[in-house]
Amino acid sequence: MHFHFTDEQREFGEAMSSFFMREVTPEFTRELWGTPTGRSAAMWARVAEQGLLGMSVPQAFGGLGFGDNAWSLMTQVCGYYAVPDGVFETAWLAASLIDSLEPGSPLQAQWLPRIAAGTARVAVAHPVNPLVVDAHLADLLLLPHEGEVHALHREDVRVSRRLSVDASRRLYQVDWTPSRATRIADAELGTRLWAEALNRGALAVAGQMNGLTQRIIDLSVDYSAQRKQFGKPLGSFQAVKHLIANVAVELEFAKPVAYRACYAQAQGDIRRDVHVSHAKLVAAQAARLACRNGIQVHGAMGYTWEMDLQIFAKRVWALDATWGEDAFHLVRAADHVFHSEAPLGPGYTFSN
């Protein structure tokens, strides 16, 4: 396997990181929590201007055409700044699903340019993820029914909000009626599309969790350097150093697994399901440890409203159960590991 980010992908990631550092501050996040929609139309437009919404849109439809590999870096950037995950629903999951429809589908010419331009939001439901992110603002909703893919406009569905521990996540139950007119992919094609959407959704969560873990590490380091106990910085005590270092070690093991999974997804690797599940499991494990140790470093103050840490910890807890809980991904990993013909062992270490 030969995997690396291109110069273009790295430069784009750095540019988006600088953009989010200025625009998506903890103060801005708290402001959005108190708004009716939880979203900023002006911010959505500025994100589109940066090109982020067009990452998975082919160049023929006005996008960048980066593919899945680039998202392994971008999801970390967005996670670090706790960017609302409705961005991924539209820019990665929905764009990829629409692009994978039968060639010449009218939805491609109709919606892909709008996604890239930021003039449309698309929400995605999934059998393992029934609550729909940002359904209240979606211009189009992609919904499953017995393996099929259906597309409906916002006015054709009924939505009911469901609260989340993370006020940035706007979740909705969607009630709708399938029909032949709303079906855009039959069960045969739809089953494959929903499987790919599941993998991309899990990868989006894994990448965000890696970014969130890094942010919690940085916040904990800053706090322990400023807070003093017995006349010394809190971070000078070995026990505190170990709390943060243990999280850093977990993160360093989680990041390459996520890169490998994105590469497998992009290449259509027959083992991509297990790679994706592995990435989701280890990223979630690192992020949960980051929350626990980060709050301990802060002396439990990290959970309070005044501390920025609670923003990122709540995002971890909210994302943890999305796009497949641990049990779901453990089963996928176990089915691979315990299969009688699994390519495991020294002879397969460096095989493709």
pLDDT tens, position by position, 289-310: 999 999 988 887 777 888 999 9
pLDDT tens, residue by residue, 226-235: 765 666 665 5
Contact 20, 78 (CB under 8 A): yes
Which is nearest to 219 in space by CA: 318, 312, 84? Answer: 312
179 token code pair: 């029909």
Q: Give me the sign of the Cα torsion angle 152, 154, 158, 163.
A: positive
pLDDT bin (cut points 50, 70, 90) of residue 1 is low
% of the chain surpassing 90 pLDDT: 79
Give 155's contacts (C-beta < 8 A, 6+ positions apart).
none
Mean pLDDT of 32-42: 93
Whether pLDDT at 156 is above 90:
yes
Query: pTM for the whole thing?
Result: 0.93
Q: What is the pLDDT of residue 4?
A: 75
Least confident piece of the model among 102-116, 169-183, 299-313, 336-350: 336-350
Q: What is the pLDDT of residue 337?
A: 84
Contact 190, 124 (CB under 8 A): no
* pLDDT winner (highest mean) among 46-60, 227-241, 328-342: 46-60
Which is nearest to 249 in space by CA: 295, 289, 299? Answer: 289
Mean pLDDT of 17-28: 95
247 against 240, higher pLDDT: 247
Q: What is the pLDDT of residue 302?
A: 77
Q: What is the pLDDT of residue 304?
A: 84
Mean pLDDT of 36-44: 94
Averaged pLDDT of the chain: 91
- Distance between CA atoms of 119 and 79, rounded to whole angstroms? 23
Helices (H), the chain: 7-23, 26-33, 41-50, 68-80, 86-88, 95-99, 106-117, 187-226, 238-267, 272-297, 309-320, 326-337
In the chain the domains, ranked by start, together with CATH numbers, are 190-337 (1.20.140.10)
Give 19's contacts (C-beta < 8 A, 6+ positions apart).
46, 50
CA angle 112, 207, 256 (to 5 degrees): 120
CA 32 to chain centre: 19
pLDDT tens, residue by residue, 90-115: 999 999 999 999 999 999 999 999 99
- Distance between CA atoms of 99 and 93, rounded to whole angstroms? 10
Q: What is the pLDDT of residue 230?
A: 64
